[in-house]
Amino acid sequence: MIILGLDPGLGTTGWGLIRADGNRLSHLANGQVRTDANSALPQRLVTLDAALSELIAANRPDHAAVEEVFVNTNAQSTLKLGQARGVVVLAAARAGLVVGEYAARLVKKSVVGVGNASKDQVHAMVARLLPGAQISGPDAADALAVAITHAHIAATGRKLASYS
């Protein structure tokens, strides 16, 4: 199963592709989609949608995993993040992907072992879980962490289903 992990952001959306074969995970690719901060919001959302649609078409993942929005102190920033996240979820759903959504604390707990892990800790554990991966930045590391979380949860679900 190929999983596309996504860490939504209006300025930078991180993405990471992994292959999950049972408990074995392997890194396929990762990167970041950037939008021009000087462009109008609608154009930035179109840029994000086009880049993600191209990425999905080129790599044909089976599932997508998206980090949920957290509320921060700036309401305007939270609204813009929510709009970018909506575009991310829409691009994946439009491509027919199964979309899992995960809270940041769950992702950190799944990958690092604690829900309040720092970005550096997440990056280090992702690098350890996906040996040899050249991670293109913290947003890409977060996206890979979301994909890893989805792989773990999907494997657990399959295991539980086999007991039924």
46, burial (CB in 10 Å: exposed 0-12, middle 13-18, buried 19+): middle
* 36 assigned to active site: no
> Which residue among 7, 62, 68, 101 is the active-site one?
7
Residues, the chain: 164
Cα–Cα dist 43/119, whole Å: 29
Say if strands 12-21 and 2-7 run parallel, antiparallel, or are unpaired. Answer: antiparallel
> Which residue among 67, 68, 101, 142 is the active-site one?
67
* 67 assigned to active site: yes
* 101 assigned to active site: no
Q: How far is CA 27 from CA 50, 72, 111, 114, in A?
A: 23, 31, 15, 23
Nearest C-alpha neighbor of 108 from the set 70, 134, 159: 70
Q: What φ, ψ does residue 58 adopt, rounded to 5°?
A: -75, -30
> Which residue among 49, 101, 120, 139 is the active-site one?
139
Active site members: 7, 67, 139
